[in-house]
Amino acid sequence: MHRIAIVGAGTGGTVLANRLAEELQTEIEAGDVEVRLITADPEHVYKPMFLYVPFGKKTVEDAKRPVEELIDRRVTLSIGRVIDVDTDRKKLSFADSSVLAYDQLVLATGATLEPEAVPGLAEGGHHFYGPDGAERLRDELAEFTEGHLVLSVVGVPHMCPAAPVEFVLMVDDWLRERGLREDVDLTYTYPINRAHGLESIADWATDLFERRDIALETFFNVEEIDPDDEVIGTVEGNELEYDLLVAIPPHAGSDLVTDAGLGEDGWVDVDRNTLEATNAEDVYAVGDVADVPTSKAGSVAHYEAGVVADRLASRVRGQTPTATYDGKTVCFLEAGMSEATFIEFTYGEEPFVREPSKPLHWAKLGYNESYWLTARGLL
């Protein structure tokens, strides 16, 4: 029996398990291969949905489905928390003291939020990167009628790099719709010398910010927040007052990764094309936890999972794997509450940003619904 263990049932882990169940159907049914999906959380979460929660357009429940409803019946599901990865002995240890041996391991443990890494951020800042934060921000925004709203990108890299730009464009539009925009000042801050890591997105956003009276602060690296006086202090020695702070918190990978010697800061060092771990044999990473030079985005996890499924299936069949990941990344970007654009790029490419339109906004909303087909490995 060839045992494939996948740790993490987010987009990467779930798509991978379902693709393997399809590709290795015969081998699994013959008892020659086991595909095991391991997750501490029995619910699958589609995080891009959280962007809409602060505006009352989606609920946290819309972002969740039970993992067992999404996976192929040929996948073995284990609910449990992995606390140690031993890549020499090829064993996983669980919080309940059980141990699982594997032949091939895929880490898909994602990224976690670390607001506590910046003094005052947890107390003084809101965010929309998790269920509780998105709901609290919804309640706060509903009552916010005047003052200075600051969207600050504090941590880089972070999940869904387009989301901070989307949020500030959406909140601008949302406030206009509600007749409150004249009483609210909007500021967007970013750590480097432009509005986004990708130059084409930065140029596009900067132009829109100017047209829509959204102030842009660059080289803005948050050092601390004073929640009582509502002031942000930066590494560069500047201060910015706020009435409502929406911050993208620092992100971290998984302690499992660091403890197993697979990479620094919890991100797995991998070959960017094969997604095989640099520091261990028969270990792969997909999704946010894989340290590759592109966005930490659902589309990346999705495409990486397809590549790793092909490579693992080739290994199982004794063939030389040839599938590679070229950095393909696809993102819809909301430009307000009723228009969106769309970008697509690979490693080293600058995306072309199309003129925002209503059909692309509808396409984004449509994809949010059809995502559940992606998770099932069908789309």
The token pair at 96 is 């309940």
Does 224 engage in binding with other proteins (CB under 8 A)?
Answer: no
In the bound complex, what is the minimum distance in angstroms from residue 347's beta carbon to other proteins? 8
Judge whether 60 and 53 are in contact, CB under 8 Å: yes
Please choose, from the candidates 323, 324, 329, the residue with its C-alpha nearest in 3D space to the C-alpha of residue 348. Answer: 329
Query: Does residue 278 bind other proteins (CB under 8 A)?
Result: no
Nearest one of 55, 62, 49 to 137, comparing CA atoms: 55
How many residues touch other proteins under the rule CB under 8 A: the total is: 15
**Stretch of residues binding other proteins (CB under 8 A), selected from 36-44, 134-142, 234-242, 358-366:** 234-242
235 belongs to the binding site for other proteins (CB under 8 A): yes
Instruction: Compute the least distance from the CB of residue 221 to other proteins, in Å.
Output: 5
User: What is the contact mask toward other proteins in residues 22 to 41, using x (rule: CB under 8 A)?
Assistant: --------------------
- CA-closest candidate to residue 15, choices 70, 92, 93, 68: 70
Name which of 300 and 313 has its Cβ closer to other proteins.
300
* Identity at 4, one-letter amino acid code: I
Enumerate residues 6+ apart whose C-beta is below 8 A from 121. Answer: 115, 154, 222, 225, 247, 249
Distance (Å, rounded) from C-alpha 11 to C-alpha 154? 25
Binder to other proteins among 221, 273, 314, 357 (CB under 8 A)?
221
Min dist CB 360 to other proteins, Å, is 26
CA angle 126, 132, 136 (to 5 degrees): 50
- Name the nearest CA neighbour of 75 among 8, 9, 32, 20: 20
Rule CB under 8 A: is residue 193 a binding residue for other proteins?
yes
Supply the minimum distance, in Å, between the C-beta of residue 220 and other proteins. Answer: 10
Position 231 contacts other proteins (CB under 8 A) = no
Of 156 and 231, which CB lies nearer to other proteins in the complex structure? 156
Q: Is the dihedral of CA 107, 306, 311, 292 positive or negative?
A: negative
Of residues 272 and 376, the one with the C-beta less far from other proteins: 272
Alpha-carbon distance of 269 to 279, in angstroms, equals 7
Give the interface segment with other proteins, choosing from 97-105, 120-128, 185-193, 370-378 (CB under 8 A). Answer: 185-193
Beta bridge partners of 100: 92
Among 110, 125, 133, 191, binds other proteins (CB under 8 A): 191
Q: Choose, by CB under 8 A, the member of 43, 223, 230, 310 that binds other proteins.
A: 223
Residue 348 is a binding residue for other proteins (CB under 8 A) = yes
Question: Is-contact 170 162, C-beta < 8 A?
Answer: no
Nearer residue to other proteins within complex by CB, 81 or 194: 194
Instruction: Please name the amino acid found at residue 262.
Output: L
Contact status: 156 vs other proteins (CB under 8 A): yes
Q: Is 197 in the site for other proteins (CB under 8 A)?
A: yes
Shortest approach of other proteins to residue 51 CB, angstroms?
22
**Among 40, 60, 122, 192, which residue sits at the site for other proteins (rule: CB under 8 A)?**
192
Q: Which of 31, 179, 293, 318: binder of other proteins (CB under 8 A)?
A: 293
- Residues numbered 130 to 149 that lie near other proteins (CB under 8 A) are none
Q: Can you tell me the distance from the alpha carbon of 198 to that of 6, in angstroms, rounded to the nearest whole number?
A: 31
- Helical packing angle, 199-211 and 163-177, nearest 10°: 20
Residue among 372, 295, 286 nearest 328 (CA): 295
**Residues in contact with other proteins by the rule CB under 8 A:** 156-157, 191-193, 197, 219, 221, 223, 235-237, 293-294, 348
